[in-house]
Amino acid sequence: MADKTQASAVDAGLSATHGSQTPAAGGRTPSAAGSEPARRKAKPNYRQAIEAGIFIAPALALFAFFVVWPMIKAVQFSLYRWKGFGPLVDFVGLDNYIRVLQNDVFIGSLTHNLIIIVASIAIQLPLGLLIALLLNRKMWGRAALRTIVFVPYVLAEVIVGVIWFQMLQPNYGAIAVVLDAVGIQGPPQGFLGTVELALPTLMVVLTWKFLGFAIILFLAGLQGVPEELHEAAQIDGASWWQTQVKITIPLIGPTLRTWAFLSMVGSLQLFDMVWILTKGGPANATTTMVTFLINEGTKRSNYGIASAASVVLFIIALVFALVYQRFVLRRDNPDIEPQRKKVTR
Amino acid sequence: MSAVTTTPRPNPDKAVTPKRRRGKRDGHAAGPFVYFMAILLVCVTLGPVMFAVLGGFRTNAQLAESPAGLPDPWVLDNYIRVITSENFWIYTMNSTIVAVLTTAMVVIFGMMAAYPLARFKFKYREQIFMIFVAGLLFPATVAVIPLFILITKDLGLGNSWMGLALPQAAFALPMTIVILRPFLQAIPNELEEAANLDGTGRIGFFWRIVLPLSGPGMVTTGVLAFVGSWNAYLLPLLLLQGDMKTLPLGVADFSSQYSSDQAGVFAFTTLSMIPALIFFLAMQNKIVNGLQGAVKG
């Protein structure tokens, strides 16, 4: 949840960036232009600036101290060989980066993150969309259903992880026992303990946890599709499926693209669930970039290596965000812009 | 959820004659297939949760024997053991205090910062806002190692409520400001001018008009901050030990320490999801509205 909410903000931020940048190019933001009565322009607003400073100071200080400063430190640590004690003296340049990028475990973790990104979208997008379209129909118990769908998303990843960990245990776990009863021999090491099965099993749990998020988001998007369009399509003799495919899905395109973005950012930062379910094992079959850097940092005290890995993660996330923003989300901005102006005025 | 589904409806409903509308709707009403899918969805979604809840009422022997059936007989021991254990309550208290501290800081500081960023005019306003927006792009996990060192070694705040609440608030601030700013911008200028004419300054305007009007925005951001803090695992894992642990850490610990005592683990897990579940389901509309806001930008 933490990751996802954080991620949802990323997107809000992306669109907000547009909101504030685009008007700035053309002059001023509409609200700024409007909120400046002529009489105030006469005297320079030092007082207002000082007041602004006082109001912003606590947030800015907190942000600078606990977000920006540690980021800068991460870059610094990444250039040293450092075990976490004593002064930072052993400057090694880019050596840590080279070591990280040549480390099979890290490359494996990067691969796992990419697999999880692709699999999340390939599984959750069609499934979530299908369910959202079904739940968007008038039906008995719809409100309750929507609440239920939200439950796994509300639970902490740790709690979900622990429940599934117990169910997936080889001998006494519920899934093994049920399979046994049906006559299927489960893997002797359990689903999480078998190298080939660990990652797919993790994907199943992730789907269970996060599908509700996709559904809720898609349903929110569906709220914006005008009913009249469906009626018009029906009058023209379109079937329910045709209406969905030709009208509804294209109209909620922006929501789908936003969700895909959030899902990608969340997948890149995946940690909690993996740590609870497998700790990255067996034989590093489920390491992610974050489990790698936590392992290096806390278990082995290789702070230099861990920091280099975190900087690599940051660069990947940034490139992802910028590329996605540039080529995919940008399409939606003409839609967002006029709406925003209406709101601010 | 219900509020979300009903809000956009009233206008179109009145625009179209009810009779015609009902005819059309029935053509699209859910059939047996849809209900079948819905039931399947409910089973898959609630199955593991119910399994954990019921698991707490069984003995380990029962669990191994028939994992699919109802507890027979129902055993209360596991739950009683957890409820009477001191640790469970200590963890719950820690989680609550940290989440409240985080939420309070996020909402107060976020509101304070968003107000001038939304309504004042001063040099570098957009630049300062962009600093916060850029913060959204940083995965919190990137800074986790230096953050750990900063808090434990430099500040000596390791293993304390504030030591966890401060960075959590810092990481939640960008989102809060990004959500609150358009909210505050939407307050009509006429209100501010009227307040000005009545002799109210910018600070008075903030207290008397901005704060009451931005209640929903504050609730949304507050709930998001609370959710984030309550469910957080990575940062507490690095920063907290012993009696300072939060519930997610407690759950993880309990499950690895007593992994063979499945029934006990289920009881502990169930009890720790109850407060969160109740709170979040009560606040669900706010969460969804917040997400919707984020989607629509």
Closest-CA residue of chain A to B109:
A59
For the residues A292-320, what does the mean pLDDT come to?
91
Q: Is residue A166, in this structure, part of any structural domain at all? A: yes
Q: Chain B residues with CB inside 8 Å of A146's CB?
A: 1, 5
The C-alpha of B96 sits at a distance from chain A's nearest C-alpha, in angstroms, of 14
Q: Is B59 part of the contact surface with chain A (CB cutoff 8 Å)? A: no
Answer yes or no: do B52 and B143 share one domain.
Answer: no
Tell me: do B173 and B244 sit in the same domain. Answer: yes
Please report, as a single letter, which amino acid is at residue B26: D
Distance from CA of A119 to the nearest CA of B (A): 19
If you ran DSSP here, which 8-state letter would residue B57 be given?
T
Q: Is residue B239 part of a domain?
A: yes
Q: Report the C-alpha gap between A57 and B109 in whole angstroms.
A: 9
Residue B17 lies in a domain: no
Q: How far is B150 from chain A, CA to nearest CA, in Å?
A: 8
Q: Pick left, alpha or beta for residue B124 (phi over 0 → left; psi -120 to 50 → alpha; otherwise beta).
A: left
List the single best residue of A18, A67, A341 to mutate versus B (max B Cβ within 10 A).
A67
Mean pLDDT to the nearest integer, A304-319: 92
In terms of C-beta density within 10 A (0-12 exposed, 13-18 middle, 19 or more buried), how is residue B57 classed?
buried
Give a three-class secondary structure readout of A263-305. HHHHHHCCCHHHHHHCCCCCCCCCCCHHHHHHHHHHHCCCHHH
pLDDT(A322) > 60: yes
Residue contact A137–B277, C-beta within 8 A: no
Identify the burial level of B217 via C-beta atoms within 10 angstroms of its C-beta, where 0-12 means exposed, 13-18 middle and 19 or more buried: buried
Number of folded domains in chain A?
A: 1
Report the length, in residues, of chain B: 297
The answer to whether residue A18 sits within a structural domain is no
Q: Is position B74 within any domain?
A: no
Chain centre to alpha carbon of residue A56: 28
Q: Are A144 and B41 in contact (CB under 8 A)?
A: no
What whole-number distance in Å separates Cα of residue A171 and Cα of residue A92?
Answer: 49
Task: Tell me whether residue A264 is in a domain.
Answer: yes
Is pLDDT above 70 for B142?
Answer: yes
Tell if the CB–CB gap between B232 and A58 is shorter than 8 Å: no
Mean pLDDT value across residues B39-47: 92
Q: Which of A1, A36, A52 sits opposite B231 (nearest CB)?
A: A1
Residues B40 and B174 occupy one common structural domain:
no
Is the minimum CB–CB distance between B90 and chain A shorter than 8 Å? no
B99 neighbors B229 (Cβ within 8 angstroms)? yes
The SS3 of residue A5 is helix
Q: Length of chain A in residues, anyone?
A: 345
In tens, the pLDDT along A38-81 reads 444 445 578 888 889 999 999 999 999 999 999 999 999 999 99
Q: Which residue has the higher pLDDT, A327 or B218?
A: B218
Q: With CB atoms and an 8 Å threshold, state whether B231 touches A158.
A: yes
What pLDDT is stored for residue A333 in this prediction? 56
Instruction: Determine, yes or no, domain membership for B26.
Output: no
3-state SS, residue A173 = coil
The mean-pLDDT minimum among A123-132, A312-321, B97-106, B182-191 falls in: B182-191
Residue of A4, A5, A342 to mutate, interface with B, max B Cβ within 10 Å: A5
**ipTM summary value:** 0.82
Cβ–Cβ below 8 Å for A139 and B34: yes
Between chain A and chain B, the number of residue pairs with CB atoms below 8 A apart is 394
Task: Say if CB A161 and CB A272 are below 8 A apart.
Answer: yes
DSSP E strand stretches across A88-236: none
Query: Which has more confidence, B65 or B288?
Result: B65
pTM: 0.82
Residue B18 lies in a domain: no
Overall average pLDDT of the B232-260 stretch = 91
Instruction: Find chain A residues with C-beta within 8 A of B203's C-beta.
Output: 51
Residues B242 and B101 in one domain: yes
B31 interface with A at CB cutoff 8 Å: no
**CATH code: domain of residue A267:** 1.10.3720.10
Residues 6+ apart with CB under 8 A from A272: A3, A156, A157, A158, A161, B233, B234, B248
| Site from A1, A78, A159 to mutate, B interface, most B CB atoms within 10 angstroms | A159
* CB nearest to B193's CB, from A37, A55, A314: A37
In angstroms, the separation between the Cα of residue B216 and the nearest Cα of chain A is 16
Distance separating alpha carbons of residues B99 and A143, to the nearest angstrom: 29
Nearest-10 crossing angle of helices A253-268, A303-327:
170
* Tokens at A275, concatenated: 């740590």
Residue B133 DSSP SS3:
helix
Token code pair at residue A339: 């709406």
**Which residues, including other chains, have CB under 8 Å from residue B92's CB and lie 6 or more apart?**
B247, B272, B275
Q: Per-residue pLDDT tens for A100-114?
A: 999 999 999 999 999
Residue carrying the six token digits 């075990």: A83
- Cα distances from B241 to residues A102, B94, B153, B252, in angstroms, run 34, 11, 15, 13
Residue B186 in any domain: the answer is yes
Residues of B in Cβ contact (< 8 Å) with A140: 30, 35
State mean pLDDT over B5-10.
Answer: 36
Domain annotation covers residue A260: yes
Whether B147 and B284 map to the same domain: the answer is yes
What is the per-residue pLDDT for A292? 95
Within a domain: residue A176? Answer: yes
- Whether A269 is covered by a domain: the verdict is yes
Do B181 and B106 share a domain, yes or no? yes
Mean pLDDT in residue range B166-189: 90
The dihedrals phi and psi of B203, each to the nearest 5 degrees, come to -70, -45
- Closest in A148, A294, A321 to B45, CB measured: A148
**Pairwise CA distance, residues B188 & B186, whole Å:** 6
Nearest-Cα residue of chain B relative to residue A41: B121
Q: Could you tell me if B40 lies within 8 Å of chain A, comparing CB atoms?
A: no
CA-based nearest distance B175→chain A, Å = 5
Per the domain annotation, does A123 fall within a domain? yes
Alpha helices in A223-271 (DSSP H): 227-235, 240-243, 249-251, 253-268
Distance between B215 CA and the closest CA of chain A, angstroms: 18
From the CB of residue B255, how many other CB atoms can be counted at a distance below 10 Å? 24
Kindly state whether residue A111 falls inside one of the protein's structural domains.
Answer: yes
Confidence of residue B6 (pLDDT cuts 50, 70, 90): very low
Q: Distance from CA of residue A139 to its chain's centroid? A: 31
pLDDT at residue A88 above 70? Answer: yes
Residue A337 has pLDDT above 80, yes or no: no
Domain contains B81 = no
Query: Under 8 Å CB-to-CB from A178, ≥6 apart: which residues?
Result: B67, B68
Domain holding B37, by residue range, is: 32-65
- Find out whether B47 and A261 touch, Cβ atoms under 8 Å: no
**Residues B182, B258: one domain?**
yes
Do B58 and B71 contact (CB within 8 A), yes or no?
A: yes
Question: Quick check: is B77 in a domain?
Answer: no
| pLDDT tens readout for residues A152-198 | 988 999 999 999 999 998 877 888 888 888 888 888 888 999 999 99
Is B269's CB within 8 Å of A20's CB? no
The partner residues of A91 in beta bridges, in order of sequence, read A80
The pLDDT of residue A228 is: 82
Q: How far apart are CA A173 and CA A237, in angstroms?
A: 52
Cβ of residue B36 closer than 8 Å to a chain A Cβ:
no
For chain A, give the mean pLDDT: 81
pLDDT digits (tens, 9 = 90+) for A245-260: 888 888 888 889 889 9
Which pLDDT band, with edges at 50, 70 and 90, does B293 fall under? Answer: low
CA distance B29 to chain A (A): 6
CB contact under 8 A, B265 and A66: no
**Chain A residue with minimal CA distance to B35?**
A139
Question: Percentage of chain B surpassing pLDDT 70?
Answer: 86
Using CB atoms, which residue from B8, B133, B269 is nearest to A223?
A: B8
How far away is chain A from the Cα of B217, in angstroms, using its nearest Cα? 14
Closest CA to B174 of B121, B224, B124: B224
Q: Taking a C-beta distance cutoff of 8 angstroms, is the pair B90, B73 a contact?
A: no
User: Per residue in B185-238, pLDDT tens?
Assistant: 888 888 888 888 888 888 888 888 888 888 888 888 888 888 889 999 999 999
- Domain range for A223: 103-300
Pairwise CA distance, residues A180 & A59, whole Å? 56
pLDDT (tens digit per residue) in B96-139 = 999 999 999 999 999 999 999 998 888 889 999 988 888 877 77
Q: How many domains does chain B have?
A: 2
DSSP label at A43?
A: S
Residue A301, sorted as left (phi over 0), alpha (psi -120 to 50) or beta, turns out to be left
Higher pLDDT, residue B192 or A23: B192
Contact: A9, B136; criterion CB under 8 Å: yes
Could you report the per-residue pLDDT of A210-246, keeping only the tens digit for each?
999 899 889 888 888 888 887 888 888 888 888 888 8
- Has residue A1 got a pLDDT over 50? no
Residue A80 bridge partners (DSSP): A91
Task: Collect all residues of chain B within an 8 Å Cβ-Cβ radius of residue A135.
Answer: 38
* Nearest CA distance, B142 vs chain A (angstrom): 5
Grouping H, G, I as helix, E, B as strand and the rest as coil, residue A91 is strand
Residue B215, number of CB atoms within 10 A of its CB:
10
Query: Nearest chain B Cα to A266, which residue?
Result: B139
* pLDDT tops 50 at residue B24: no
pLDDT at A86: 77
Rounded Cα–Cα distance for residues B284 and B266 (Å): 25
Check if the beta carbon of residue B48 is closer than 8 Å to that of residue A208. yes
